[in-house]
Structure 1
């Protein structure tokens, strides 16, 4: 995206800050794998949202002190010896061009600059990226930095930036939607390649490789998440990622996958019979899930409450489970369906890193719709997932080009 998008994102965030507030966001560091090897680096998504920069070990500082607004980008100090091994890192002019931040310096100036901002102000709000999935996970750079700052400046109020930046990230700009459309387009091409090449006797990972090849040849550098390739009973495991079982004749295989394009994600789930033909029971269960998928999509529009939508969708699935002879009472539905109907989608697959967020749908949100019914005892697990853009008076199915009717699937696989 062009720098104007990141300039706008920073302006929107700064305007939401109270006076005497500072935002410090770190791009992050790669995690050690083993020996001298590191895992592939993924930039902190909030840092990227404000700068457009994907390189590690940089910092953005935004401030509103005594009514005066400033923004400063700190790039890691140059190390010409390391560059011989790892390649050139960003220069100040490049940082300016990518981010639109006019004041770009190197890391050696960071601590003195921050001290100057804080000094002489009676009370300061320091916003950091402090989200955690669970208490036991390792401290992030921001967690460690926050503790250190609190010891040195006890009068600082440490706050989590998520509560300020999440509402902004939930509403996608035209530029963001364009990136997601591209990710979806590539993902659909990959799923079609899977369907064309499926045959009994393959390992799940062998078939998965066709998706990987399609993505790589189209310039994809990373995926939205680890691909789920789950045949037969494996599809009844929600986050199955072993992908190493043999696909048998008569199996349905569930693929939950997504390409990533310029850090924006697609997320699609499709089931199809490896031999190209649904059994009567597979078709019955599949069409039950499909009815819920279509009903929920039809329901989404601005003003709809996400909690109410989720409860309504669960009730629909319960009705379908009764019709399938799986349960007698709706209260038993958790035996065959135990997740929410969808999630926000964007820079993160579960966007903003928060599951179960309750909100009211608004124009510009992108949301997944993914009902499922999982019958382990019948080796059937079906989930049908589409990506939805909320429009002014309804929604657009961004994944509409990915076929999902039984007759379409069987005809395509002939």
Structure 2
């Protein structure tokens, strides 16, 4: 019986090995991840160490977890896709007790045949060395015995913890244990860490002379509307409430004294995100290959639904066609929850219920993006369910299209990040006022309440520094008009929601629309919707 078990178990491992071999080969290379680590190391302060943790495993319900998704920074630097891992990077070479030199360490999940039978093959130490190119790799269980003396570094860089991870109890090398061990090793004290917004307000108070204190107090007061917890800080609260300049001067002195008496700490939870944003906002050619594929897959999804759409479809069916196309092209996931809103549902910016049973003859706003090997697209089209825009729908649609054309044209190297937004917004505000939907720019803004652009990459809202546009940045340009039922305008406009979103590569030769394969103009959309769909004959039996 024992021999039979061993034979079956060996057979399982062999099948698992074969299954793992028949996979895509166009992932980011080990050389890419190494180069990115080297680039980060160059930007780190002297005598510093950076610590990154893998994403937590997130529970869906009971004993079922969500599909695991690696932290984008962690993946960007390592290529490692498994949970319960730590990356430690040093600004300068370190030396082990036996005289070996190193500048990075990776701690990974330990190989475990029994666990792998349930959840899949693990790389383990040797796999991380051979496939990811790391020289110093250890099991997570060895992290507590790390030789790193965090107290000797001028800066210990890490992102503060969101406390959204569980203690599995049985695994002494899970993310919970790894973080707790780091906190002990680095003398982590949450109370002593600077609050970024509080630090910013303190800096404002310190830099303000008595003549300008009233204006600064108003600015701080507006900030507290978004950060109400800071009202608990007595100095900040008093500074905004008093009208006496002399009291504000006394409070300024208190801030200076507080900062002078604050115990020094080498723990830095603010700088790492800025360093990573500076790296990730510019895409390498290897990244652009994957991101472009994700975008083109998403554009194909939009094309296919344009041909397949009819008024009796449900929002969920429309979502399913998009996502089916993604899978046919090898996309592993959606980059974010799919948004399919017919009529007034499209006025909810992040509408993800997709529960309307028939879209009828309404406009259907479809904001979806495929994720391919970690890189996410973000493409939106708005189309008439019956294949033909009404007169009023077309007026609003064409206005958004005109605004997007202006926004894309402004996405040029050297322009400020808000250039695309300013260009799009100017067109929409003027158009809405001209149509009588709004009387002023302030009124017009309520019908276009979101920004026009964000960075795109491993995150659908990728990090960046939001400075001037640079070569090989990728952004979205996504103006929109949303006129909910009950709006203060002619009723004929109610329930019209239009967003057009494309993924734009900024180059020295001008903007390139990576999602151009999905028609954008109202004329092109109507023409494609007349074509036959491969899904026209796909009819399922009725379920009673």
- Taking structure 2 as the reference length, the TM-score comes to 0.70
Equivalent of 2:475 in 358, 367, 386:
367
Equivalent of 2:361 in 240, 244, 250:
250
Q: Deviations over 1:70-93 (max 9, x none)?
A: 011111223332223223211323
Match of 2:15 in 1: none
Match of 2:231 in 1: none
Match of 1:351 in 2: 462
Q: Is 2:187 the partner of 1:151?
A: yes
Are the structure 2 counterparts of residues 334 and 390 from structure 1 closer, same or farther at C-alpha, using a change threshold of 3 Å?
same
Q: Is the 8 A contact 2:406 2:423 kept in 1?
A: no
| Structure 2 Cα separation of the partners of residues 9 and 163 of structure 1 | 15
What secondary structure sits across from 2:418 in the alignment?
Answer: helix
Are the structure 2 counterparts of residues 7 and 83 from structure 1 closer, same or farther at C-alpha, using a change threshold of 3 Å?
same
Alignment of 1:229-244 (within 5 A): 229-244=340-355
Equivalent of 1:45 in 63, 66, 72:
72
What secondary structure sits across from 1:230 in the alignment?
Answer: strand
Shift of 1:111: 2.4
| Structure 2 Cα separation of the partners of residues 10 and 180 of structure 1 | 20
Q: Is the 8 A contact 1:48 1:54 kept in 2?
A: yes
Match of 2:496 in 1: 380
Moved more, 61-70 or 143-152: 143-152
Shift of 1:22: 1.0
RMSD between aligned residues: 2.3
Shift of 1:201: 2.1
Match of 1:58 in 2: 85
Q: Name the count of aligned residue pairs.
A: 404
Q: Is the 8 A contact 1:310 1:341 kept in 2?
A: yes
Alignment of 1:10-409 (within 5 A): 10-65=37-92, 70-113=103-146, 116-118=147-149, 121=152, 123-130=153-160, 138=164, 147-151=183-187, 155-160=265-270, 161-352=272-463, 358-377=466-485, 378-409=494-525
What secondary structure sits across from 1:81 in the alignment?
Answer: helix
Q: Mind listing any 5+ residue stretches in structure 2 that lack a counterpart?
A: 1-27, 96-101, 166-174, 190-263, 486-493, 531-544
Q: Is the 8 A contact 1:322 1:330 kept in 2?
A: yes
Are the structure 2 counterparts of residues 35 and 131 from structure 1 closer, same or farther at C-alpha, using a change threshold of 3 Å?
closer
Q: Deviations over 1:304-339 (max 9, x none)?
A: 111344334322221121122211211212220100
Are the structure 2 counterparts of residues 72 and 274 from structure 1 closer, same or farther at C-alpha, using a change threshold of 3 Å?
same
Are the structure 2 counterparts of residues 102 and 261 from structure 1 closer, same or farther at C-alpha, using a change threshold of 3 Å?
same
Q: Mind listing any 5+ residue stretches in structure 1 that lack a counterpart?
A: none
Are the structure 2 counterparts of residues 97 and 78 from structure 1 closer, same or farther at C-alpha, using a change threshold of 3 Å?
closer
